């Protein structure tokens, strides 16, 4: 097979077959295209997609993909090999020559999902969503990031386009751009997204432990946006507030919700930070105050986000459903099975 096969028309691509560890696999229609390759449906395997790298990208990706799918990759187990993290499953080779071409992966099951920022801005308006939905989504994102960190890898590129959300379900994609800890080598990622990156050494090569620390800051920004209608945590107003790009705001603004700087205050159009659960407010303060922002001191651990969000979500799920008196509006807990409003005394209309 010609090495330029992935660049030809669908009618020709449709006839191609590749080899994996478990057997041959045929590619179907193209599902997407990025800077490094194309993604196809696997014929007769509805749950599998195939990513084929462009010719100029294959040599730099081969070792990394093998590290993600070999014995070290298997340590990820059920934490990652499911559809909330689109992780490489098998290496794909040319059927005849054995040349590396790409990998198979779970196929996205939520094609109409939004990227994380769009979902925060348009689906998680406070008047049109519940706190439980927002917190559950934040928990799902933190849990996915925790799964990556728990096996020694890091994300690095927290582009909101690589985090897809449908209702409260979160899916991480483009995982071959992560920083991967192999058995003998580290395979770095090659991008970062300034909107979510802390100031320290953005443009320098980092060890994987440092990237994990940077991930903590990036995750906190995403969670803040999910809970605050897409507002960036360093977006501020006032005569001393920096304007411009998100990275400029991160560099120059203090966290406006927990600072005592005259001339810098939270944006007035956003939700009220004080209405968030107190423990969530505390984690944001840990993540974004000067030492945490600039140098990473005591930046909130991903596991802390998971623990706190899990506790709050579980507490909310345990609360009885609330109805309201049709006359005076008083809260009536459905599980109490009362017949009369405790405030105005009217007989309740049970539904």
pLDDT at 49: 95
Give the count of domains, the chain.
3
pLDDT at 219: 97
pLDDT at 3: 39
The full length of the chain comes to 351
pLDDT in tens, 101-146: 999 999 988 878 999 999 999 999 999 999 999 999 999 999 999 9
* Residues spanned by the domain of 223: 114-317
pLDDT in tens, 266-292: 999 889 999 999 999 999 999 998 777
204 pLDDT band (50/70/90 cuts)? low
pLDDT at 9: 41
Q: Are residues 16 and 46 in the same domain?
A: yes
Q: Are residues 99 and 212 in the same domain?
A: no
**Helices and strands (DSSP H and E) totals, the chain:** 11, 15
**Predicted structure pTM score:** 0.84
Q: Are residues 17 and 32 in the same domain?
A: yes
Which residue in this structure is represented by tokens 């992935």?
6
Flag the least confident range among 64-73, 128-137, 202-211, 336-345. 336-345
Q: Are residues 138 and 46 in the same domain?
A: no
Distances, alpha carbon 140 to alpha carbons 84, 170, 222, 337, in Å: 9, 6, 12, 34
pLDDT at 19: 93
Q: Are residues 222 and 252 in the same domain?
A: yes
pLDDT in tens, 238-275: 999 999 999 999 999 999 998 888 999 999 988 999 99
| DSSP result, 279-339 | HHHHHHHHHHSHHHHHH-TTPPPHHHHHHHHHHHHHHHHTSPPEEE-TTT--EEEGGG--S
Q: Are residues 308 and 325 in the same domain?
A: no
Q: Are residues 33 and 96 in the same domain?
A: yes
């Amino acid at each position: 097979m010609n090495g330029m096969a992935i660049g030809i028309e669908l009618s020709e691509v449709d006839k191609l077959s590749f080899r994996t560890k478990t057997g041959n696999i045929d590619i179907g229609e193209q599902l997407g295209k990025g800077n490094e390759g194309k993604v196809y449906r696997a014929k007769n395997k509805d749950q599998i997609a195939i990513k084929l790298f462009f010719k100029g990208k294959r040599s730099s990706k081969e070792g990394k993909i093998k590290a993600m799918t070999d014995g070290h990759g298997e340590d990820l187990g059920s934490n990652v090999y499911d559809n909330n993290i689109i992780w490489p499953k098998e290496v794909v080779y040319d059927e005849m020559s054995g040349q590396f071409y790409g990998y198979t992966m779970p196929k996205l099951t939520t094609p109409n999902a939004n990227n994380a920022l769009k979902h925060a801005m348009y689906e998680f308006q406070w008047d049109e969503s519940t706190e439980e939905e927002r917190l559950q989504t934040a928990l799902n994102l933190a849990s996915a990031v925790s799964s990556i960190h728990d096996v020694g890898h890091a994300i690095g590129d927290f582009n909101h386009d690589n985090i897809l959300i449908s209702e409260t379900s979160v899916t991480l994609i483009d995982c071959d751009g992560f920083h991967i800890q192999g058995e003998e080598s580290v395979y770095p990622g090659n991008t970062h997204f300034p909107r979510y990156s802390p100031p320290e050494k953005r443009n320098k090569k980092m060890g994987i432990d440092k990237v994990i620390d940077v991930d903590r800051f990036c995750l906190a920004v995403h969670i803040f946006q999910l809970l605050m209608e897409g507002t960036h945590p360093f977006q501020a107003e006032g005569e001393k507030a920096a304007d411009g790009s998100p990275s400029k705001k991160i560099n120059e603004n203090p966290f406006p919700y927990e600072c005592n700087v005259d001339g810098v205050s939270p944006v007035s159009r956003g939700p009220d930070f004080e209405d968030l659960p107190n423990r969530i407010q505390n984690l944001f303060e840990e993540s974004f105050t000067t030492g945490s922002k600039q140098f990473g001191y005591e930046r909130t651990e991903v596991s802390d986000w998971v623990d706190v969000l899990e506790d709050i979500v579980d507490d909310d799920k345990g609360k009885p459903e609330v109805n309201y008196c049709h006359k005076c509006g008083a809260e009536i807990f459905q599980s109490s099975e009362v017949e009369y409003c405790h405030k105005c005394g009217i007989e309740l209309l049970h539904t």
